[in-house]
Chains A and B, each alone.
Chain A
Amino acid sequence: QVQLVQSGAEVKKPGASVKVSCKASGYTFTGYYMHWVRQAPGQGLEWMGRINPNSGGTNYAQKFQGRVTMTRDTSISTAYMELSRLRSDDTAVYYCARFIAARSAQHFDYWGQGTLVTVSS
Chain B
Amino acid sequence: DGGITQSPKYLFRKEGQNVTLSCEQNLNHDAMYWYRQDPGQGLRLIYYSQIVNDFQKGDIAEGYSVSREKKESFPLTVTSAQKNPTAFYLCASSIILGQPYNEQFFGPGTRLTVL
A and B bind: no
